[in-house]
Amino acid sequence: MSDPSRPAADPQFVRNALEATIRIGILLVLVLWCFDIVKPFVTITLWGVIIAIAIAPSYEMLQQKMGDRRGLAAVTFTLILLIVLIIPATMFTGTIIDGARQAADVLRSGQVHIPLPPESVSHWPLIGEKIADFWTLASSNLQEALEKLEPQIKDISRWLLGAAAGAGLGLLKFLASIIIAGVLLPGGAKSAENADVVFRKLAGAQGSAFRELATSTIRSVARGILGVAMIQAIMAGIGLVAVGVPAAGLLTVLVLMLCIIQLGPGLVMIPTAIWLFSAGDSQVTAILFAIYTVPVLLIDNVLKPILLGRGVAVPMLVIFLGAIGGFISMGIIGLFVGSIVLVVGYTLASEWLGNGGETDQSDRVAAEAAATNRPTV
């Protein structure tokens, strides 16, 4: 039974609530549909924005030297970036193809000579006998040994093909991002104004400060992590090419990836130096390469503290942790997204703690003004 003391629902209120629910549902479906359509381009566009922000100071210098011709400066800068990216990629691809061809020729000709395993290998716990047996088989009949590993070789080949395809697709996306950055550069001032509006709507009066903080963080990470990684990779590549190490281009790219994820070039440079000492024809070359390796390994300790926190009024450790955590969770783009999120969160927490946990300072400011007999601003 209905409660006679409860007033009947207003039909107009029910109709309004139903219409509002339908409108919100349609709007939500439309937003999700739009996002699903543009989702393939989100990463590319975000990369383009990050690249544009990171290179904006250099672009402005080039623009001034070209008589404030924004379009010409943007086209020139975009072409320079494309050339800088395409030339190493071409060298890297050529190195892989040449290395694969040489390996196939050696295996086809049967010129591979594998020595017998040392007697101590068979005494290794658990796996010693199996390794010794397979090693002995490979030293006498490499083709039969490879046939036993055929399933594993196929799996590795599929993985390598997938990785190569992914790297190629990633390169194409990065090329598209550079072009998008070139399109965004001439309108940088207008974009900054629009970003200020968005940040002010999100963070109030401090929106502009947070926009500048995000911009500084992107440039700091670009210099302190990617910039230092590229410097180390270039130095390592010069050393590898100078001593004639096989697949120097592939090893250089590997050094770049290791430096980006903060493992450093030592995982490539130190084994290469050991290999030169053990297999090289000239001990002088090996000694010179070992000496050259030292500054390659240590230069990030000098450059990173200088570049990583430059222009950002937060501890360098916050940026570093944000970059590494973002990279682990989101990939390379997480270097920037993770740093920005952690820096903004750190700044908000610092402001809140500095204000005694108050989210609105108007009452406190008014009280202080009344206590000192001065007007509020």
Residues 7, 77: Cα–Cα separation, whole Å: 71
pLDDT at site 355: 58
For 224, counting Cβ atoms within 10 Å of its Cβ (0-12 exposed, 13-18 middle, 19+ buried), the class is: buried
The residues near 250 (Cβ < 8 Å, ≥ 6 apart) are: 92, 95, 96, 99
Which run of H or of E encompasses 348? helix 334-354
Residues 221, 320: Cα–Cα separation, whole Å: 8
> Is pLDDT of 180 > 90?
no
Q: What is the mean pLDDT of residues 350-361?
A: 58
Residues 317, 264: Cα–Cα separation, whole Å: 18
Distances in whole angstroms, Cα of residue 265 to Cα of each of 233, 299, 326, 368: 8, 11, 21, 56
Higher confidence at residue 313 or residue 265? 265
Q: Which tens digits make up the pLDDT trace of 248-286?
A: 777 887 888 788 777 788 888 888 888 888 765 677 888
Q: What is the mean pLDDT of residues 318-326?
A: 79
Structure confidence at residue 33 as a pLDDT band (50, 70, 90): very high
> How many C-beta atoms surround the C-beta of residue 208 within 10 A?
15
Per-chain mean pLDDT for the chain: 75
- Residue 363 in tokens: 């009452």
Closest Cα partner for 256 from 92, 97, 53?
92
Higher confidence at residue 86 or residue 25? 25
